[in-house]
Every structure is written in C-alpha cells, then in structure tokens.
C-alpha cells in the first residue's frame, strides 16, 4: 500500500456547464494505492475550487469542491477494463477528472434561497426592495384587485350577527 498527496495544475478547463474548474487552477489529490489480487485499488479524495455563475441571478460564484473516488485498475488480461495497470503504473487523470466533473452542481446557486431575477426589470431580487414588486401587478388580474378590499371593509363596518 502507498499513499500520495500532490497538487495538479490543470492544463485545460474541466466542466462545460454554468460552473467549471479553470484552466491553470489546482486540484489537490490525496490517493491511496493498494495491491489486490485483481490489480491496484485506487481510492482517495480530490479538492478544488469551482467558479462560474449562479443559475438564478447570474452573478459570479466560487465555491470549494470535495469529491471522493475509488476505482480498481485491473492487470492486463483477457478481459478489457476501462482502467488498466500499464507498466506497473496507473493513470489517475481520467478517474479524477470524471469524479470532479460529475460532482459539479448542475444548477448552482449563490445562496440556497437565492430569489433570482425580477422578470420585468431584470434586477436581482436580493438587491431590490419587495415594495416595488407588489406595484407591478399583471393587468389581467386588475379587475380582481378590489375583491379583497371590499370584503375587509364590509366586515369592519358590520359586526358579526351570529351568536
């Protein structure tokens, strides 16, 4: 068994969605390699920081990413395997890249309760006050706006007749 810790500088960008790992960024890899009957078992952890934009309000975000991985690198033989031992070495790049990319959030948000953008003005709802939103009513609903007010004023004028 051997344990290794190393930092890898990315030669290219990892990820194609709203968030990704930047080219030139660093991935910290902590791996444990164990010899087993079928090959070499690689298990470990990768740490990095992803960047991108919030899926709701479109501001820039950056967050840490921690992902665990485990894969068996089989000795060459009759059966084909996705991961094989080659010249007593294992290539961890594909394994780590796949684990990292699959753990990136599909719909990233800047905060869990991010309200997004105002559909009329396009402003971030987190930055604007809530009073301006209530004044922008859909004109199709304007005929119903007086209903709640009439019921409240009528109940205030007449006391309840039920005993």
Q: 78 phi and psi, to 5 degrees?
A: -70, -40
Beta bridge partners of 50: 63
Task: Report if residue 11 sits inside a domain.
Answer: yes
**Residue appearing with tokens 């003005």:** 121
Per-residue confidence in pLDDT tens, the chain, 163 aa: 899 999 999 999 999 989 999 999 999 999 999 989 888 899 999 999 999 999 999 999 999 999 999 999 888 876 666 778 777 788 888 899 999 999 999 999 999 999 998 888 888 888 876 555 545 667 888 788 778 765 555 555 555 555 5
Model pTM? Answer: 0.71
With contact defined as beta carbons under 8 Å apart, do 98 and 67 qualify? no
Task: Report if residue 126 sits inside a domain.
Answer: no
Task: Report if residue 84 sits inside a domain.
Answer: yes
DSSP state of 96: H
Task: Report if residue 141 sits inside a domain.
Answer: no
Task: Report if residue 74 sits inside a domain.
Answer: yes
Name, in order, each residue with C-beta under 8 angstroms of 121's C-beta and a sequence gap of 6 or more. 128
| Closest residue by Cα to residue 46 from 64, 68, 24, 26 | 68
Cα gap 106→123, rounded to integer Å: 23
Cα gap 109→52, rounded to integer Å: 10
- Tally the domains of the chain: 1
Structural domain of 99: 2-103
In the three-class reduction of DSSP (H, G, I as helix; E, B as strand; rest coil), residue 64 is classed as strand
Task: Report if residue 116 sits inside a domain.
Answer: no
Residue 159's pLDDT is 58
Most distant CA pair in the chain: distance in Å?
A: 93
Task: Report if residue 59 sits inside a domain.
Answer: yes
Task: Report if residue 158 sits inside a domain.
Answer: no
């Amino acid at each position: 068994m051997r344990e290794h810790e190393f930092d890898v500088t990315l030669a290219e960008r990892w990820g194609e969605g709203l968030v990704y790992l930047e080219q030139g960024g660093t991935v910290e890899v902590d791996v444990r390699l164990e010899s087993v009957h079928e090959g070499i078992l690689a298990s470990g952890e990768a740490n990095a920081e992803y960047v991108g934009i919030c899926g709701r309000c479109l501001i820039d975000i950056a967050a840490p990413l921690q992902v665990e991985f485990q894969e068996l690198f089989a000795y060459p033989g009759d059966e084909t395997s996705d991961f094989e031992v080659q010249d007593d070495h294992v290539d961890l790049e594909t394994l780590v890249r796949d684990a990292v990319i699959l753990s990136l959030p599909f719909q990233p948000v800047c905060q869990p309760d991010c309200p997004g953008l105002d559909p009329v003005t396009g402003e971030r709802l987190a930055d604007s006050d809530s009073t301006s939103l209530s004044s922008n009513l859909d004109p199709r609903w304007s005929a119903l706006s007086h209903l709640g007010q009439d019921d409240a004023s009528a109940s205030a004028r007449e006391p309840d007749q039920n005993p």
